[in-house]
Chain A
Amino acid sequence: AQSVTQPDIHITVSEGASLELRCNYSYGATPYLFWYVQSPGQGLQLLLKYFSGDTLVQGIKGFEAEFKRSQSSFNLRKPSVHWSDAAEYFCAVGDYEAAGNKLTFGGGTRVLVKP
């Protein structure tokens, strides 16, 4: 069965600094990978997704992620964070080999932004 690990539960970053969130997955075939963001009290919003092709994908709000098959990783990055980026971030892997085409989510990383 597929799984997703986000090693960092909390990250604190200063406004204007760079941000990198780690995501490692376990999946037998070529994965479909996603990053979602959840602002306090809100649902999850899709930031970006990877299906195939270019391993560096661009998303909304200035985020990007890089797929590294050799490391089973899909890390999320942003060059300069804004206070509005304070939120919880979830990495997910899609299983298209089983019924339901389900997404499996990591435990999430909560990002705090210092002024």
Chain B
Amino acid sequence: NAGVTQTPKFRVLKTGQSMTLLCAQDMNHEYMYWYRQDPGMGLRLIHYSVGEGTTAKGEVPDGYNVSRLKKQNFLLGLESAAPSQTSVYFCASSYSGTRGYTFGSGTRLTVV
């Protein structure tokens, strides 16, 4: 009964480094989302996917890329990390997005 699993949970990057955040869900959900959470700003949508092989931009996509090669996995990539990308990243999945999401426990990323 894992739900949505995010790895890693914590990461420190140097400016210019790259990394990939992994989100895995075992609920056979079609919709998956990546959000970032910053103090006082709530959650802002980075990218989302409505099914295997599809991706789309959200509210704050710049500096990020995503892939959904398998239905259960949604990867978020940072090609050249910047301090402005220091944040907590949440992945979520949903059977039908407007019916509510199931969230992962988050990845805390610090870019120095």
Q: Which residues of A contact B (CB under 8 A)?
A: 4, 6, 9, 32, 34, 36, 41-46, 49, 51, 90, 94-96, 99-108
Contact = CB atoms under 8 A, between A and B. Distances in A.
Contacts, number: 72
Interface of B: 4, 31, 33, 35, 40-45, 48, 50, 56, 58, 90, 92, 94, 96-106
29 contacts: A6-B42, A32-B99, A34-B100, A41-B106, A43-B90, A43-B103, A43-B106, A44-B90, A44-B101, A44-B103, A45-B103, A49-B100, A94-B97, A94-B98, A95-B98, A96-B98, A100-B33, A101-B96, A102-B33, A102-B45, A102-B48, A102-B58, A102-B97, A103-B100, A103-B101, A104-B45, A105-B44, A107-B41, A108-B42
Contact of A103 (B40, B98, B105): B98
